Amino acid sequence: MANEQNSLFDTDPQPWNLDDQDDWLAARIAFAEQPYGPYDYSIPAHLESAVKAGVRIEVPLGRSNRKMTGYCIDIIGPFHKLAASVNPGRMKPISRVVDDTPLITPALLKLAHWISEYYVCELGIVIETIIPAGVRNDSGTREMLFISLADDVRDNFDAHRLTPLQKTILQTLASSNQDWTPRELGETVGCTQGPISTLRRRGLIVTTSRRVQQKTHEIRAEQRVANFQLNAEQQSAYDAIEKHIDADSHRTFLLRGITGSGKTEVYIQAIQKVVEHGRQAIVLVPEISLTPQTRQRFRARFDHVAVLHSHLTSAQRAWHWKQIAAGKVQVIIGARSAIFAPTRRLGLIVLDEEHDGSFKQDKAPRYHARDVANWRAANENVPLVLGSATPGLESWQRAKTGDYELLPLEKRVLDRPLPDVATIDLRVDFGGRKRFSPISQKLRQEINTAISDGGQVILLLNRRGFSTRIQCPGCGHVEYCPDCSIPLTHHMKGSKAVCHYCDHTIPEPRVCPDCGNPAMKFSGLGTQRLEQEVQKLFDVPIMRMDTDTMRKPGSHEKALAQFRAGDIKILLGTQMIAKGLDFPNVTLVGVINADTALHLPDFRAAERSFGLVTQVAGRTGRGEKGGRVLVQTFNPDNKTIIAATRHDYVGFADAELPVREEFAYPPFGHLARIVVKSPIQSKAEQMSEHIAESLNVAAEDLQTPVEVLGPSVAPAEKLRGFYRFHMLIGTTTAGVLQPVIVRAKTKIKPIDDVQWMVDIDPQDML
Ligand code: ADP
Ligand code: ZN
């Protein structure tokens, strides 16, 4: 680092005495690629007014003065400390200011600093994450010409010889402050471009060119609907939030409401209050919940709703972003990254399904939208509402200690009962039978009953593909992905075997590559095979919903619309069908195998299984017909499964928290994970040892109580051709992981062909 700094600035040194120079100004610049900086550059007088924090700036970098564009993150002067002992006399001047206006607001820039520090990620990368690509590269903008009067013409048209038409043109321009394009002007005056060109040639009018955002997006107005009368529980939750909206003060609420308790209605009415105050609200939902139903629910209550979903083009995203920045949007709904919406006056943030794993980004910066939302809400003094039927234990613990305010919704709206949940013991059901069927006798009867009573059925199986394991019964060989240490899944459609991590695909292997046995066995149950089975057993229209059938944009929405219309009787699929859907006619939910996630090597395995079963169970009993849930499991006595069948979140949490505490796992401890990968196994191992050692040394230097667990081979040993090692850094003291990692980083020497990354508060342990 220090070397880089010297080589950057020691060209063309001019001795400079700081004492005489108390009026210098410098721009601090961060880059989104190496070397990340930040570095300081002097600002020449003629660019002083153009440099602002948040604009992009082009600078000469290194000895070769190669051109590089970075973000101005600060403007500094004589009272500031320069970056890494740079002398102002040796600073190079910036070359060019790229943007007229900052791309990032001061509040978001502050947020970027926090993310950079907390997640140990370069500031430039964070800024580039916050500003959508479409905004950075002017997607959907067009260079346009605008006409205005020449300076000295306004008050003395008569000094010039003009035809009546030319005079009308000048008067039109003089009488309004509007920007005119040549075409608009021609249409308004009722003339061709001829006289306009003539005036321009004579210098009486001037044209300027400017980039303008094209409108790329029509927002359909929805039929407006009235508010529901809140029930007592909803009302007291609303009142608590409203108090903080009115007082402009920050508070984080945990709205724990069972499925169907009407959480969304509480969000909507709180947002209405925010809009009344002339402020904007951000609503974060898991990507999968950005359905037309969600959009419509909000558009039926507000005039200006921006929905930021992943199928937007970058031009459309840029357009929304500018509308938001211009203060024209009341409610922003989006997945994770919508937390960076550049609102003018933020009034409230809502995070629905706050337990959902998709709120954590799996590339740098590896932020969790919930924690970013917490920081942003505190910094901008607004309330944050976290909602879920099954909150993450991190949030639950904070509610228990009073850090968050708990708002319980214990009852479903209109006093509808929660569905009855029964388990089916697969050990008994499959014990004596020859042919394996994923649908037990009991579940089969119940499906028939539900359908003949006019209801609909949802079946959950959290594994796609046909057979999840391809094995030779002769020698035991299991077909693995050559690039990942993951068994291939057999897909019936297309007769292929696919890696679910990297999509590596081969024709289905019929013959064992090891021993030549021509009878490879396909076992393990995936959604494709379930679909085939369901088709055989029931003579009704069915639909499968998983990432294989839902690849095309819009297909998810189309499928849900068909199911809602009642054309489809049985909907089966992966966790995609478990989230937030509201179908009153669903009277039966079947969980094909509740155990799929139970035994994964991850301390959150129980929490995830509990959440999934509870969430999918909540999809039924939402209408007048009521509903029931059947859960097939090999572990009917498991306490997680039992709690899920009782809708007993508190019971689950009470049993699970002591386990977490014993091992100092979150929410009691803090974790960081470091993953090292390389195409050469020994190099990855060597680097992981070097990193672990550096961490231990840094912890000792700083006298910080952290524990480095590992390094060891990662559970997913090989992915996409990279061998992987990992280590966990754990502590029970908040805020000490980052300084240790930062200090260790300065001592870690790179090894060729090895990459490594830091994940603070990791969700993914594979
Ligand atoms: P949750 O998100 O808690 O699962 P929803 O917000 O989807 O629940 O609400 C379930 C259903 O109840 C929705 O159809 C909603 O419109 C309706 N609803 C919400 N609040 C009320 C209320 N106070 N009275 C009647 N119906 C309500
Ligand atoms: Zn693979």
Residues 360 and 368: beta-carbon distance below 8 Å: yes
CA of 582 to the centre of ligand 1 (A): 9
For the cut 50, the answer to whether the pLDDT of residue 10 exceeds it is no
Mean pLDDT value of segment 650-668: 93
Q: Which residue has the higher pLDDT, 482 or 366?
A: 366
Tens digit of each residue's pLDDT (9 = 90 or more) over 330-339? 999 999 999 9
What's the Cα-to-Cα distance from 106 to each of 54, 113, 194, 379, 384, rounded to whole Å? 8, 11, 47, 11, 20
CA dist 476 and 199 (Å) reads 87
What the block records as the tokens of 184 is 């608009």
Mutate to test the pocket of ligand 1, among 255, 413, 622 (most ligand atoms within 8 A of CB): 413
CA of 704 to the centre of ligand 1 (A): 49
Atom of ligand 1 nearest to the CA of 234: 23
Q: What does the angle CA 752 – CA 753 – CA 759 come to, to the nearest 5 degrees?
A: 105
Ligand 1: which residue has its CA nearest to atom 5?
A: 262
Tens digit of each residue's pLDDT (9 = 90 or more) over 365-401? 999 999 999 999 999 999 999 999 999 999 999 999 9
Number of the ligand closest to the Cα of 227:
1
Report CA 517 to chain centroid distance, whole Å: 46
Residues 260 and 416: beta-carbon distance below 8 Å: yes
Atom of ligand 1 nearest to the CA of 259: 4
CA of 502 to the centre of ligand 2 (A): 4
CA dist 338 and 319 (Å) reads 14
pLDDT value of residue 5:
37
Ligand 1: which residue has its CA nearest to atom 13?
A: 262
Tens digit of each residue's pLDDT (9 = 90 or more) over 412-451? 888 888 888 999 998 876 555 556 678 999 999 999 999 9
Mean pLDDT value of segment 26-47: 92
Mutate to test the pocket of ligand 1, among 265, 289, 296, 390 (most ligand atoms within 8 A of CB): 265
Confidence of residue 9 (pLDDT cuts 50, 70, 90): very low
Atom of ligand 1 nearest to the CA of 584: 14
Torsion 151-152-155-160 (CA) sign: negative
Q: Which amino acid is at 684?
A: A
Number of the ligand closest to the Cα of 501:
2
Residues 529 and 535: beta-carbon distance below 8 Å: no
Residues 603 and 660: beta-carbon distance below 8 Å: yes
Mutate to test the pocket of ligand 1, among 289, 582, 624 (most ligand atoms within 8 A of CB): 582
Atom of ligand 1 nearest to the CA of 261: 3
Residues with CB under 5 A from ligand 2 (ion): 481, 483-484, 499, 501-502, 504
Number of the ligand closest to the Cα of 505:
2
Q: All domains of the chain, ordered by start, with CATH?
A: 4-136 (3.40.1440.60), 141-213 (1.10.10.10), 232-414 (3.40.50.300), 420-463+525-660 (3.40.50.300), 670-760 (3.30.70.600)
CB contact burial 209-238 (16+ within 10 A = b; e otherwise): eeeebeebbeeeebeeeeeeebbebbeebb
Ligand 1: which residue has its CA nearest to atom 9?
A: 262
Residue in the block written with tokens 């594979």: 766
Alpha-helical segments (H) within 157-229: 164-174, 182-189, 193-201
Ligand 1 first shell, C-beta below 6 A: 228-231, 234, 257, 259-265, 413-414, 582
CA of 695 to the centre of ligand 2 (A): 31
CA of 230 to the centre of ligand 1 (A): 9
Mean pLDDT value of segment 227-235: 96
Ligand 1: which residue has its CA nearest to atom 4?
A: 260
CA of 368 to the centre of ligand 1 (A): 28
Of 646, 675, 667, 702, nearest to 756 (Cα)?
A: 675
Largest CA distance in the chain: 106
Number of the ligand closest to the Cα of 579:
1
Mean pLDDT value of segment 128-148: 84
CA of 532 to the centre of ligand 2 (A): 26
CA dist 743 and 614 (Å) reads 43
Of 144, 111, 139, nearest to 127 (Cα)?
A: 111
Quote the mean pLDDT of the chain.
Answer: 88
CA dist 670 and 467 (Å) reads 38
Alpha-helical segments (H) within 388-477: 393-400, 426-431, 441-452
Confidence of residue 264 (pLDDT cuts 50, 70, 90): very high
Phi, psi of 178 (to 5 degrees): -65, 155
pTM: 0.85
Mean pLDDT value of segment 709-731: 92
Mean pLDDT value of segment 552-580: 86
Mutate to test the pocket of ligand 1, among 229, 236, 256, 264 (most ligand atoms within 8 A of CB): 264
Q: What is the DSSP string of 340-400?
A: G---SSEEEEEEESTT-GGGB-SSSS--BHHHHHHHHHHHTT--EEEEESS--HHHHHHHH
Helix axes 369-379, 106-118, angle to 10 degrees: 130
Atom of ligand 1 nearest to the CA of 231: 23
Ligand 1: which residue has its CA nearest to atom 23?
A: 230
Q: Which amino acid is at 342?
A: P
Atom of ligand 1 nearest to the CA of 258: 3
CA of 262 to the centre of ligand 1 (A): 4
CA of 566 to the centre of ligand 1 (A): 21
Across the beta sheet with 56-61, the strand order is 39-42, 26-30, 66-76, 56-61, 96-97
What the block records as the tokens of 738 is 């980052």
Mean pLDDT value of segment 140-154: 80
CA of 677 to the centre of ligand 2 (A): 15
Tens digit of each residue's pLDDT (9 = 90 or more) over 484-534? 877 888 888 888 898 888 888 999 888 998 898 888 888 888 888 899 999
